[in-house]
Structure 1
Amino acid sequence: MYIFVNALKNIGRNKGRNILMGIIILITITVSIVSLCINNTTNSIIDDYKSRFGSEVTIAPDMTKVMSMSDILSRKGTKIKQTTPQQYLDFAKSQYLKEAVITASAGVAGDGIKAVDEDENSNVMGGVIISSIGSTKDKEYATPTMSLVGNQWDEFEKGYRKLADGGEMPQKDNECIISKELADLNNLKVGDKIKLKSSIISIENSEQKIKNINVELTITGIFFDTTEEYPTQIKIPSLNRRNEILTTLDTLTKNFNNLIKVNAKYYLKHPSMLKDFEAELRAQGLDEFYLVSTDEAGYQKVVGPVEGLKKISLTFMIIVLIFGAVTLMILSSIAVRERKYEIGVLRAMGMKKKKVALGFWFEMLIITAFCLIIGVLIGSVAAQPVSDALLSDQIENAKMAAQQGGVLRGILLGGTVEKELAPLEQVDVSVGIDTIIEIVVIALFLASIASVVAIAKITNYEPIKILMERD
């Protein structure tokens, strides 16, 4: 207890030197807490986005290989082996996947029901198809006027579509839900059955054959739709979103397996499994002209500025820590030299070296604890504006890089073009328990490293020699 009380008194006796050391410790702690706040916050953001972007796998043609004329010539006109719908479904069974989101669609025609805008459309496309393929006996080609879509419920989650009261989502095979516009046009209600058909064209003995596939679905619900009616400039019934009949994936695969268009998204258990997953797909017949990749461009676009912010904050913290530690060691060395006589008197009175060293360490701990409290308060307030200022510079750099070659994800597996990803423009920085623990460790490190020099010198001093050398 005496050592601690004496350490408190010594701090008051040596105000000038201790204030200078306190300023160095305060600056170091303040900068460290700002950097740690930014670093810990950006780490959580980066981990979250890395999990999402790094784990989502896309399978698309490798345009570098496709457009290589020399490669095309060397293959003597060999075409790309198209991935079948069944293969996409088989890929989803991989042990490396955490999740697979599979949606599918098929063009169908109504048997006894009309599509929205069907009367306003001249069916020129259908006429061209029929005239070009002809017909076989009494089996005519069924020109698609509607889309049968399986497992596509994201618009309901986003609020663009809503199921009307009294309806239910399809649960069993051959159940479906339809838009209110399509239901009103054909006077359909929940519980009614609708017949749909689609055609397969094949060539047998140099003769075209048309096979019609027929399916009967039960309406389990009617939904309101606020999505854009025509996503493209081409306005034909089959592209009208009011003509989408939503059903289960099994209903599509069992009835229209050879006609469906699959859109698949695969999510790995961990980004490091990408190579193993690709090897498995190749073994299952995926053509070499297909590229298996993650959305690295999208990840860099969104998280690149945040990673830059993290690197800057860490680099600055390391520099300040080194500078602060070296400065404290020098000041501590000077302080011990100035207090040599005091050490000699204490040792001559019988105080052991360990207790003298402990007294110096207590002094540094008390100064550091005081600076720690003030530094946490200042750092907590300064962290957010410092983060905003640094991040704005990183965003500008990212935008300049994006202008040279914009980041836009292409059409993948029959999907739609997604909007350009915007970089994160703000990081909400806060002081968490992990930051508090880390800054306490840093503070103890600064106090200890400054005391090491004093302790090393104290152990080399002999009390009689110190007193004899005093003028």
Structure 2
Amino acid sequence: MYIIKNALRNIRRMFTKNILIAIIILIVGFSCVVSLSIKEAANTARQEGIDAVNITANISYDRQKMMQNMQPPTQGEQDGTSQEDMRDKMRESMQNQNLSLDELEVYAKADSVSDFYYEKTMAIGATEIEAIESSSSENFGGPQGMPGRNDEDTTYVEGDFSLVGISSVNALSDFTDGTKELVDGEYLDIEKTHTVMISEDLATYNSLEVGSSIKLQNPNSESETYVVEVVGIYSQVSDQQMMMRQDPANQMYTSANTIDAIEAKTASDNPLTSQVKGTYVLADVDAYDAFSDEVYELGLSDDFTVQSMDVSMYEQSLAPLENLSSFADTFFLVSILVGGAILIVFQFLRVKDRVYEIGVLRAIGMSKLKISLQFICELLIITTVSLILALGIGAATSVPITNQLLESQSVSTNESEMQNMPGGMPQGMGGRQSSEPSGSFIEDSVQSVSSATNWTVVLEIMVIGLLLTIVSGGVATIFIQRYDTMKILQQS
């Protein structure tokens, strides 16, 4: 008790010098509070956001791995034969890049999968109606990435329309995410066949309405036709367009049963085939990670990979916050090192200024340990008061500071990503083109937080304060142990 009373007395006696120490600790503490609050905000935003994301995953051919395995011929082998062999190998690999529905359903049996649905995409023609053509439509292969059959030795013709057959209403993700919306009629009944949903542009262009009939046609056999009924008309809410052979307005939605019926009806010499895309619904990120391992245990080739746009896009949206968190780590480390060094210097100077006091206390019988504890107690009281103020100020300002820094970081990150993408396209939107960067990185990124300082930050700050007090107080202890009482009194 005497040590505490004497410590309080000395703090009041040397008020000016102790105020300076308190201000330094306050600044260091405030810096640490803001740094730790930014990290906590990043962790909280990540966890809350990922918990709210509906995670779906797809299995796709790993083209990057294929290209890495395709070693170009060396300079000594630069002849037509070696290059042609490499092309043949690449063509063979490209032909084996699609999984069948049976294979996709095998992986749907994984314990981590909560639901599975698929869509079949077919390029098809039509009579009596015309496809919409736009200047933005370019030859990038078949619809939705289907490889076109344009070999020199074949006369196969791709259809002007993209027919997408769905196995579940959950496959209509464009409608649930707001990219498209139903403006007339009703959604598809997946149990029915020969019904379609068409775009509003296509309906207007060909004077079609709900109830109208469309005669689809095998573009390689004019005698093969398939009549379907329009049950719904949708509009494209987003102005972004897919880089595909057909204008997006030429896309028709139908049931997977309709696709199966058309494939069964086509002649064997001019068959219409579809490409299957399976979607796996997963409960959370842990389930996604488990699924990524389970598919290979179920027999998936290493040439394929599991990807989730939901996880990828959310991770991308956190980039500004993660960058800010990394900056906070650096700022925190610098604050601790600089603040700790300054406190050590101040403790050394305090001991030097109070040498005579130390000699008197030793002369009246106080041990060196108790004198050291008194110096530590003084610093601990100053540190505690300063850190309480730092926590109060930091808690009140950490959210606006974090949001201001996050806004600047979002703009900086977006500009960097736009510069790195061809044609200024946003990252992750390489399959789109648009005159306006709508849907750009900055619009999708986390741009604000609602909370930052929490009890974890409070505990961490208190531990940091205690450690700084012990370390800087240890300096005082070392010097006090070296002093000789008689020499101090004689010199004074």
Q: Same fold (TM over 0.5)?
A: yes
**Tell me, what secondary structure is at the counterpart of 2:343?**
helix
Alignment of 1:32-431 (within 5 A): 32-46=32-46, 56=57, 59-60=60-61, 62=63, 65=66, 72-73=86-87, 75=89, 78=92, 80-81=95-96, 82-95=98-111, 97=112, 102-105=117-120, 121=129, 148-151=165-168, 152-154=171-173, 157-158=176-177, 185-186=210-211, 227=236, 244-245=253-254, 261-266=275-280, 269=286, 276=293, 279-280=296-297, 283-284=299-300, 288=303, 290=304, 292=306, 301-383=316-398, 384-385=400-401, 388-389=404-405, 392-393=408-409, 395-405=411-421, 406=425, 407-409=427-429, 420-422=440-442, 424=445, 426-428=447-449, 430-431=452-453
Shift of the alpha carbon at 1:72?
Answer: 3.5
**Cα distance between partner residues in 2 of 1:313 and 1:233:** 40
Contact 2:40 / 2:452 at 8 angstroms: preserved in 1?
Answer: no
Shift of the alpha carbon at 1:86?
Answer: 2.2
**Cα distance between partner residues in 2 of 1:324 and 1:58:** 52
Shift of the alpha carbon at 1:315?
Answer: 0.8
Residue 432, structure 1, aligned to residue 448, structure 2:
no
What are structure 2's unaligned runs of at least 5 residues?
73-82, 132-154, 265-272, 433-437
Contact 2:414 / 2:441 at 8 angstroms: preserved in 1?
Answer: no
Shift of the alpha carbon at 1:12?
Answer: 0.8
TM-score with structure 2 setting the length: 0.63
Cα pair distance change 1:229/1:77, threshold 3 Å: closer
**Cα distance between partner residues in 2 of 1:120 and 1:270:** 48
**Cα distance between partner residues in 1 of 2:243 and 2:95:** 30
Shift of the alpha carbon at 1:324?
Answer: 1.0
Shift of the alpha carbon at 1:4?
Answer: 1.8
Contact 2:406 / 2:447 at 8 angstroms: preserved in 1?
Answer: no
**Tell me, what secondary structure is at the counterpart of 1:367?**
helix
Cα pair distance change 1:88/1:197, threshold 3 Å: farther
- Residue of structure 2 equivalent to 1:18: 18
Structure 2 residue identity aligned to 1:321: I
Contact 1:26 / 1:374 at 8 angstroms: preserved in 2?
Answer: yes
Structure 2 residue identity aligned to 1:8: L
Q: Deviations over 1:133-173 (max 9, x none)?
A: 9xxxxxxxxx99976432225466457657999x9997x96
Alignment of 1:436-447 (within 5 A): 436-447=458-469
**Cα distance between partner residues in 2 of 1:348 and 1:392:** 61
Cα pair distance change 1:424/1:163, threshold 3 Å: closer
Shift of the alpha carbon at 1:441?
Answer: 1.6
TM-score with structure 1 setting the length: 0.66
**Cα distance between partner residues in 1 of 2:275 and 2:420:** 34
**Cα distance between partner residues in 2 of 1:63 and 1:404:** 19
**Cα distance between partner residues in 2 of 1:343 and 1:176:** 98
* Identical pairs, percent: 21
Shift of the alpha carbon at 1:327?
Answer: 1.3
Cα pair distance change 1:263/1:272, threshold 3 Å: closer
RMSD: 5.4
**Tell me, what secondary structure is at the counterpart of 1:264?**
strand
Cα pair distance change 1:239/1:401, threshold 3 Å: closer
Structure 2 residue identity aligned to 1:400: S
- Residue of structure 2 equivalent to 1:469: 490
Cα pair distance change 1:228/1:14, threshold 3 Å: closer
Contact 1:104 / 1:262 at 8 angstroms: preserved in 2?
Answer: yes
